[in-house]
Homo-oligomer: A and B are copies of this chain.
Amino acid sequence: MRPSVGIRDVARHAGVSNATVSNVLNRPDVVAPATRQRVLAVIEQLGFVRNESARQLRAGRSRVLAYVVLDAANPFFTDVARGVEDAAREAGFALFLCNSASDGGREREYLELLHEQRVEGILITPVDAESALLAERGTPVVLVDREASDGARCSVAVDDVLGGELAVTHLVENGHTRIAMIGGPLSIQQVRDRREGALRALTGAGLPADALTFLETRGLQVAEGRGAGERLAGLPASRRPTAAFCANDLLALGLLQSMTQQGLRVPDDLAVVGYDDIEFAAAAAVPLTSVRQPREELGRTAARLLLSENDADHEHRHVKFQPELVVRASTAVRRTT
């Protein structure tokens, strides 16, 4: 079988021309039923598998979209990906997932490969701002969970400033005045935006900006959250923040774990707010208050935008969704005064 069977072999065995075989594959209605059956039988018998490279080379179009995801291990992104895939399938496209794992180099390599593959379109949650500015290379690109700074492409995002504001406003209303924000690196737009929202909440409530201590992490994974937890627990209780706002749920879960390990109680010793409201947030040791984003809708919208990119009258749009606070036990009020 290795000397792979091509369309010509099928044609010969079925006693028709290449063109007819191609028609059977692509426009079955145009070929006489009897011929069609015969060709299909031969295809089956010979185990013919169409060569997509050749097809795409000539036909010019591809049948796949790709989503270059920031961290495949973060359930937030797999939920977004599900939305993307739903919309893609609906339109007859397959989805390839690529994991940049927060690594700019990998991201570049994947983008390069995808451009070379001439996929129909690329969705990407970029590692940082610079990479988002990648030059136009002929394949449409839509930013997911990031806002495009220029008008050169579509983007679908959630209002992260508002999200940060919701989270910290909630903490302030619960009486906290020493709050830590945990997240990083600051090269990530979201982290900056959420911090900005946090600060806005403080000033809105008449608190000084230094009521917020920013603990920068090297990434947004569970392990980094644990690390931050150790740093917090190391502080004398008098100076320790009474609440923490984490830039995502993974950090919050890590933080939670390390709190328990160090013998500190949530929410009594430290109230915790996460971000994303992933499924595991509700199942955590202490169910997590979190800022919910419309994950699947984010993905669906992005995919639809991407697919509309070839319309004659396409205009680049920047969609922005609203986040929503989901309150759970991790921020239950401290004192019933």
Give me the interface of A with B, judged by CB distance under 8 Å: 1-2, 4, 47, 49-57, 63-64, 66, 72-73, 75, 78-79, 81-82, 85, 89, 94-99, 101, 106, 109-110, 113, 115-118, 135-138, 222, 253-254, 256-257, 279-280, 282-287
* Chain B nearest Cβ from A163, distance in angstroms: 22
Residue of B1, B116, B279 touching A49 (CB-CB under 8 A): B116
Cβ-defined contact, A113 with B64, below 8 A: yes
Cβ-defined contact, A54 with B51, below 8 A: no
Known: A75-B75, A94-B98. 17 other contacts (CB 8 A): A47-B135, A47-B138, A51-B118, A55-B116, A63-B113, A72-B81, A72-B97, A73-B79, A82-B99, A89-B106, A94-B113, A96-B96, A222-B279, A257-B283, A284-B284, A284-B285, A285-B287
Bound complex: CA A282 to CA B287 (Å): 14
* Chain B nearest Cβ from A281, distance in angstroms: 10
Bound complex: CA A101 to CA B79 (Å): 12
- Nearest neighbor of A115 in chain B, beta-carbon distance: B49
Bound complex: CA A116 to CA B133 (Å): 33
* Chain B nearest Cβ from A265, distance in angstroms: 14
Cβ-defined contact, A257 with B285, below 8 A: no
* Chain B nearest Cβ from A263, distance in angstroms: 15
List B contacts of A1 (CB < 8 A): 136, 138
- Nearest neighbor of A136 in chain B, beta-carbon distance: B1
* Chain B nearest Cβ from A2, distance in angstroms: 7
* Chain B nearest Cβ from A5, distance in angstroms: 9
List B contacts of A253 (CB < 8 A): 280, 283
A56, A66, A136 pick with most chain B CB within 10 angstroms: A56
List B contacts of A75 (CB < 8 A): 73, 75
Residue of B2, B109, B280 touching A280 (CB-CB under 8 A): B280
* Chain B nearest Cβ from A256, distance in angstroms: 6
A49, A101, A280 pick with most chain B CB within 10 angstroms: A280
23 A-B pairs with C-beta separation under 8 A: A49-B115, A49-B116, A49-B137, A51-B116, A52-B53, A52-B113, A52-B118, A53-B53, A53-B54, A55-B116, A57-B57, A66-B96, A72-B72, A72-B82, A73-B78, A73-B279, A75-B75, A85-B99, A253-B280, A253-B283, A280-B283, A284-B285, A285-B285
List B contacts of A110 (CB < 8 A): 94
Bound complex: CA A287 to CA B96 (Å): 34
Bound complex: CA A117 to CA B85 (Å): 19
- Nearest neighbor of A288 in chain B, beta-carbon distance: B283
* Chain B nearest Cβ from A84, distance in angstroms: 10
- Nearest neighbor of A286 in chain B, beta-carbon distance: B285
List B contacts of A79 (CB < 8 A): 73
- Nearest neighbor of A255 in chain B, beta-carbon distance: B283
Given A4-B138, A53-B53, A257-B282, answer yes or no on A109-B94 (Cβ-Cβ < 8 Å). yes
Bound complex: CA A283 to CA B50 (Å): 48
